[in-house]
Structure 1
């Protein structure tokens, strides 16, 4: 405001000086305050010009400094928000995790978070700054010339409101469409890579190439339109300044003397040079916020969904191999579980005790609830009612108290794009595990011969999703990872399905030797794998039909006996 006023004074002083007139009363008052009455005209112009330039440039430099500080602050808050959302998201159970698209979650936790902090919040802060700038300019202009102030703010205010009304809905729509297209095209890329064999056999690669290309072309058009929209405001406000200057000049020269007219025009141009960019930033900022709200929609939904969720408890303990006080027994009492969106209970187990050091096999037709039961035992899913205890504690509490005492191997083992060592120590710093412990786990998993045959040994690359490994090698790598911490409770969910008969027999024999010291829960369709289990639980349609030995199930369950006969397995 002071800088704009100085420019106005400079204009009035210059016109009076050219006409060899004394400065007006307002200009004289300012010169007197600044103690410049006794200075020459040239010195007065130079000093007031320098003052105006210094004030306006200083304000700009200060704005740059504050904006930079603000953005860096918001950048750090962005990482904190991501950490908070990731922690709360991962604290949820498996059904919640699986209800969200992985690409949508990835988008929400990365690009979406940056949009919330740097675009929505960052722009809002700048918007508040510019609003205060406009308010102070309004105060200054009304004090100097109410008519010019009213005309200026009416003109720019009207143009700004019209522009916002015309473009705000479009900006939000474009932001939503951009988010949807990014997630959609990412899903298709992952889909075709994951199903590459099927895509070749079914000759569908060209479909994916065309679909991805169309998504990206549409996204490029949306991005281009979003980038162009601010230019519309820029050009219209530039024209507004020109039209306003011409209009005020015409009116002032018709109604006032030249000195007053030039001073007024100078004041308008000085105010307009600050007001126009501020109004432009306000209008563009409002559009950015609208577009950002559309773009960050998935993130804002996730923030709202997780606002009352608890974060994962921090645990920075190093890898453990001993678990004093842990007893690997499992006790189940009256548990019920229903899948989200279904009516009635999908799984019921009244009573089940798995004693320490024993082996329990879980069998039954596909869809009978075998994996669901395992997930409930491990605390991956939350039971609707009842109780599951491991070593006397709920599953999550037991895992928190004795991390590493329980291990799990799924049928589809996750393999990261890294080395054998990095995959074995997944979740721990690679250098935190002794090499002797790694080799011991490799040997137990029947993977020793393969690893030793690699020129780089433990540093051999396995490729993304284990593309350099066979299916059996991926499973054995997953088994070795599970055995690394010397667990006392091991859960195997079809963990040997990709192994050939000899290797599976060797692994089964190795597991059998652990009986008495390690509790094993396993799901297996190959009945030969479970023939030596201490007890077998037969599930059908979410209900426990029977718990008994291999021969007891053969005698009492016709379907099980039929499967045994087809597999040509002899009883004990």
Structure 2
């Protein structure tokens, strides 16, 4: 509204100036008409600019706080460089008196305890919003308990989170795939010259993708297209499992890895998980009970 008022006052001032200058009526009418046409075209754009500037001012404080929070974080590379511990999961993973909650909300966990034997499979089930994914984030060291501890073979994982993450792997619901070769997608983040094809094949075998990849025109060197468009949904998901297994983890967490798949494809994923049984500790978050019916333990969150 302020811009429109300013434009009207400006037009009136220009009109008054032309009248005082005793300009011909025809010239005044022409200039005033042109000025009005220009203002009608420019005013909407100026209004949008003004609105966006006001929005930037309103959210500026939030951006400043976010920037301060992000710059206060210690870079991940520094954590890796100063990581000296070596964790193992040979005996058990213990959640001891875990307490955690988000600000201004009821605690999700209060003195929660769980003992997971090494190389067993555990299903986390329960209602949406119950804390299953939060528990996964806590187990991965992405969140820090507000009370209690998470222990692997008796050692607190927060003594050296970077070292703990070296033996853990995570498979999300939606897998991000590069427009690159199968090998590059399995060894995601590894420089091309440092990729171990033996480890790639081993991971693909465990994820039960070996026959599928062998059938591709160039095998491991076959490009799978943008976001894996040349693969089926189940094949993409198993490729995500192979990516996690490439790191040879001792703990594998799958978060709703089959929720977007049909029943037939889900069965293939379940078969791949059964192939991992006894090789490493597996935690599966799922709503479908058919996904986790063969897990050693079922924990309701």
TM-score, normalised with respect to structure 1: 0.38
Q: 1:297 to 1:339 in 2, by over 3 A?
A: closer
Q: 1:384 to 1:435 in 2, by over 3 A?
A: same
Shift of 1:298: 7.8
Q: 1:310 to 1:437 in 2, by over 3 A?
A: closer
Counterpart of 1:376 (choices 134, 138, 144) is 138
Distance 1:314 1:481 in 2: 23
Q: 1:402 to 1:346 in 2, by over 3 A?
A: closer
Distance 2:225 2:111 in 1: 41
Shift of 1:484: 0.9
Corresponding position: 1:304 with 2:95: no
Corresponding position: 1:393 with 2:158: no
- Contact in 2 for aligned 1:332/1:349 (Cα 8 Å): no
Q: 1:470 to 1:335 in 2, by over 3 A?
A: same
Distance 1:422 1:397 in 2: 32
Q: How does 1:351-430 map to 2 (within 5 A)?
A: 351-397=113-159, 399-401=161-163, 404-430=166-192
Q: 1:429 to 1:403 in 2, by over 3 A?
A: farther
2:206 — aligned with what?
444
1:463 — aligned with what?
225
2:80 — aligned with what?
315
The answer to which structure has the higher helix fraction is 1
Structure 1 segments (4+ residues) deviating >6 Å: 296-299
Deviations 1:9-33 (A, max 9, x none): xxxxxxxxxxxxxxxxxxxxxxxxx
Distance 1:464 1:333 in 2: 43
The answer to which structure has the higher strand fraction is 2
Q: 1:365 to 1:301 in 2, by over 3 A?
A: closer
> Helix, strand or coil: the match of 2:80?
coil
> Helix, strand or coil: the match of 1:326?
coil
Q: State the number of aligned residues.
A: 246
Corresponding position: 1:473 with 2:235: yes
Deviations 1:230-276 (A, max 9, x none): xxxxxxxxxxxxxxxxxxxxxxxxxxxxxxxxxxxxxxxxxxxxxxx
Deviations 1:57-82 (A, max 9, x none): xxxxxxxxxxxxxxxxxxxxxxxxxx
Shift of 1:314: 4.7
> Helix, strand or coil: the match of 1:353?
strand
Counterpart of 2:296 (choices 523, 534, 540) is 534
Counterpart of 1:503 (choices 268, 275, 278) is 268
> Helix, strand or coil: the match of 1:500?
helix
Distance 1:333 1:461 in 2: 45
Q: 1:325 to 1:503 in 2, by over 3 A?
A: same
Q: 1:300 to 1:459 in 2, by over 3 A?
A: farther
Distance 1:298 1:528 in 2: 44
Q: Which runs of 5+ in 2 are unaligned?
A: 1-43, 50-56
TM-score, normalised with respect to structure 2: 0.69
- Contact in 2 for aligned 1:336/1:348 (Cα 8 Å): yes
Which structure ranks higher in relative contact order (CA pairs < 8 Å, sequence separation ≥ 6)? 2
Q: 1:511 to 1:526 in 2, by over 3 A?
A: farther
Deviations 1:425-462 (A, max 9, x none): 11221321211110111111122222222223223233
- Contact in 2 for aligned 1:415/1:423 (Cα 8 Å): yes
Q: How does 1:126-145 map to 2 (within 5 A)?
A: none
Q: 1:433 to 1:412 in 2, by over 3 A?
A: same
Distance 1:469 1:347 in 2: 39
- Contact in 2 for aligned 1:335/1:348 (Cα 8 Å): yes
- Contact in 1 for aligned 2:126/2:132 (Cα 8 Å): yes
